[in-house]
Amino acid sequence: MRNLIISACIIGLFLELSGLMWSLKKDGTSDTFVVLTEPAPRMIEHPLENGYFLLLGMAADRTQNPIQTGYDIWLESSTRPNSTGFDFNKSGRSELRLPVAVDQVVPEWYASNPLEALQKQDALYRVSADRYRPLVARYEQWLQMIFEDWGYVHQGAPRIEELLGAHRLYVAEGVSQETATGLARLSQDLAKWRTVLRDARTLPLKIMAAVMIDDNVQLVSRILSHESVDRKILAQSIELLQPLTAAEYSLQWPVRNHFTLTYLRQRAIELSPLQEPQTDWTPYEAIAHSAHLPSHAFQKVEHPQNRPSLTASSQSQHTWNTYATYYDALIKTADSVHSPLPKLHDIAKNSSRTFTNPLEFEPEWTPFSQRLVETDARLRLASLQALMRKPTATATIPTRLAEVGAKYYDPFSGLPMLWSPTQRKLYSVGKDHLDDGGDLTFDISVPLSSAMTPLGHSL
């Protein structure tokens, strides 16, 4: 009976969204608006087989089914746009939250030689490993599950803290057993999150995937920077650390989700102007912090919630059509790494009306687009750490960086990565597009050990 009720709810919510979108054609909606607000297809038939819900229920009490808990959290935050987000604070949903900061769970993660540090019998993370056993078991289960982002047109995001902690413990335990086991787990983890990055339909999950990928890549980079690295690790790293693909870069579905959810929420306010839903931004801010984005980055793309006025009804659809054009241009431009994102003003000036409504503001999507480029830069730099270890007796490092091919060039500049012989660093110019000499405040860099210097050359 419970499954029938759940299925009926899903079907009803889907039909409600679809009917609302298509019924708007008679109101003068543009073709672009209609395309952007089409419902996302769903390939998974049985919700409890979807790993997305395990992400939501990761911290549930150990006596509960975390997938069912995550599904219950999701059901409460229906496609109705006045939802305030996912409620993680109900009894039984937060008992396994990390009691300490993520960095304290596996401090050896940041060691200069992480393989050696994680294999020590007195490693600090071993002391508390049993406390986190349920989280690690759930994380391992998540890695085996199929995945589809059902956060589409839902306000809310998974908690990132438990995921980061569990993923580090999962890899660390593998390394402690045997280096090959640890690397196999790391490869599996990285591949899984690249799938999420490619398939994410919501902005928080897209950025969360980038954070998890970076965490793995930086661990590999520290391993590769050590003087002695096994040849198998080098070969595996080159295969593992491929640059981002166009699908992984794409913001199409996150932008479409944001546009549709924003529109639905504004319509709900117009229908029920006395309701003032307040979103819980805590999970968003945690993701932003982990991604080294401004704490209010997600709020900066959130449209203001406006009360209806006497003139709003006659102008609103034209406004949304203009926004649809803007977001469509944003989707197309974001796929081209070296092109700046479009400005709303440039899109709006081609419109037949002047923007005066306070709804019309400039969302700040650039930090999110740049964040994906940063992930790509880290992948390419770590790949270069492995590639630079291949023996050569003649070529200097700058020459090799130029000859390695555009696949490993700096995604921020489109030019070869830079090399600092004094600091022994390879680096990307970063989002400011300026050569700051490998300064970590502005540039993205990785060290090269002396084992990587060509014979007879220091540059």
Helix (H) or strand (E) segment spanning residue 447: strand 444-447
Beta bridge partners of 427: 418, 445
Q: Which are the contacts of 23, defined by CB distance < 8 A and separation ≥ 6?
A: none
Q: Which are the contacts of 300, defined by CB distance < 8 A and separation ≥ 6?
A: 294, 363, 364, 367
Beta bridge partners of 146: 50
Residue that has been written with the tokens 């993205």 in this structure: 444
In contact, 131 and 257? CB cutoff 8 Å: no
Q: What is the pLDDT of residue 238?
A: 82
Q: What is the pLDDT of residue 389?
A: 82
- Label the pairing between strands 444-447 and 425-428: antiparallel
Global pTM? 0.89
DSSP notation for 425-439 = EEEE-TTTTS--TT-
Q: What is the pLDDT of residues 148-207, one digit of tens each?
A: 999 999 989 999 999 999 999 999 999 999 999 999 999 999 999 999 999 999 999 999
The residue count for the chain:
459
Q: What is the pLDDT of residue 394?
A: 65
The token pair at 49 is 């087989």
pLDDT beneath 70, residues of the chain: 1-27, 79-83, 273-277, 306-315, 350-360, 391, 393-394, 450-459
* Distance separating alpha carbons of residues 81 and 16, to the nearest angstrom: 12
- Measured between alpha carbons, how far is residue 49 from residues 52, 54, 70, 144, 146 in Å? 9, 9, 12, 10, 7
